[in-house]
Every structure is written in structure tokens, then in C-alpha cells.
Structure 1
Amino acid sequence: MYELGPVSDVVLFFDCMKSHVEQVHPECDWSLLTDRLYRRYIALEDLDPAIVLMERARQIFTFVRAASGVEWDSSLVGNREKSWLNPDQSTLADVFSEYFECFAKASASAKSFEHDFHIYKPVKTIISDLAGFLRDDHKSLDEYDALDGKPFWLR
């Protein structure tokens, strides 16, 4: 498990994925990231394609200036309790570098665990406070698959 910051930061990451990646590059199916990772989980057979997509998204973010690519909420900026992001970074790839690194680590860990123990622990976005984690960790993958609307981590 990797902690990325407050919910508003994670929402902003996925908003940037939609506006700067999915909408600008519709020739590619980004749903493994903008739906599966955002709302559900990445299945084992989708993990390698998701890794490729995430790296492509990171590359796209290197061309988006942080100052102009996001409407930064001044009430969040600089307040560590409200946001862990630094809008003074050069590009969105820099702002969200931890997100890309944590996704790579989580993916590698999931693949390793599956290889060593033949048990796949899906890569997913969850809330990290103890109560939320325990609630969501006990949900079946069928509950995630049937999910319509907000992801569990936003409820």
C-alpha cells in the first residue's frame, strides 16, 4: 500500500488523466486507468497493458506545464493537511511523479506476489485510513465489478 495524499490530490490526478491524456489522445483506450484503476481494480491480465498506459500517460504529462495545465485551488496549495502536491513543479509529470512511481512499485509487487505465491492481489485505488481500508479490503472483486458511480474510496 502506498499513500498518495489527501483525496482531493488523487481526484486531481485522475481529472488530469481525463483532461490531458484521455481527451487529448482519444486514439487510445485509457479505461484501464481512468475507469479500472480509478473505480475498480486492475485484473492480472490487464496489468502489463496498464503499466504501458501509465508510462505513456507519464510521458504525456511531461509536456503539460503545471502552472497552466491545472486550475490550482489556492486554499489547498501550501497546506500539507489539504494537499501534498507542489504546483511549483515544472510539469504535471513532476507534480505527480510519486503517483507514477507508486503505481510502478505496486504493479511490480502484485506481479511478484502472484509469481511467488500464485495469488494475485489486484492493484487498486483505496482509502488508506484504517477504517476505510478495512471496509474496502473486505469487499469482493464482484462488488468492485458491479460498481456504478463513485468509487468506494470517494464514498
Structure 2
Amino acid sequence: HITVDNLVEEHYSRNPRLVNGLYQWGYIEELGLGIDRMIEDMVNAGHPPPKFESPGHRFTVTLYNARDEARPPEPWENNMNERQLKALEYVQRNGSISNGDYRQLCQHVGPETLRLDLVDMVNRGVLLKIGDKRGTRYILK
């Protein structure tokens, strides 16, 4: 079951035969990449990520033209460590952050600690994880 909250992680084809045909004919490149690609392209272009809403029986995607420079809510800042605040500032300036970017920001901290910082920010709903493995980027949620 796909919801707005799990849209990036879950992939579902209502008509798998139609999707397979479109894939075979070259109309789609890979199954399940549409939402991921939309988010990544928006962030790479310097825009905020799309906003997905599902009120009632409709589904709405809002694409923004300019980056929102709003700061995160005060309660998040009070519960984040200095590294996480540094990562958040980086995302606000650059649109996204990778694990490698974060390691450059915090060179004297171990990679596992930094990975756990990013996981924590995703779990809190501050960041959204896009992609996987070496292509993973984190954007403001």
C-alpha cells in the first residue's frame, strides 16, 4: 500500500503488463524511478523538493520554482548536535548533502557516527533520503 509518507521507498505498478510493455518499448528507462528522479532533478536544479499530498481521493504534486530559505522549526534545532546543524545549514545552502559531503564537513568524526547522524535526521522527518548506496543524497523534507 503506497502512501505519501512511503512514496519514495515503495514502488507499485497498478498494471504490471502495461509497465513492462512501456519498458520493453523504451518509453521508460527503469521501473520505479519516476518519483526519485523527479525529486533529484528538482534538487539538482536548485529548487526545493516536490511536495506530495493526498487529501481525500486525489493526489497532488507541487513543484516549487525557488528554494525556500526557511529555517527548521526551533524544537529540531534544540535536539540536534552541532554536526547535524552543520549538515542542515549545508542542505539549506546547496539543496542536498551526500555522506561524502558530510564527511568533508566533519573530518574529525568517524564515518559510522556521521551515517547515524543522517539516519537520525531522516527518522525525525527533517531530511528525506533519495537514492541508495553511493548515489544517496539527503534533502530537506
TM-score over 0.5 for the alignment? Answer: no
The structure whose RCO (Cα within 8 Å, separation 6+) is larger is 1
Normalising by structure 1, what TM-score? 0.28
More helix by share: 1
Normalising by structure 2, what TM-score? 0.30
More strand by share: 2
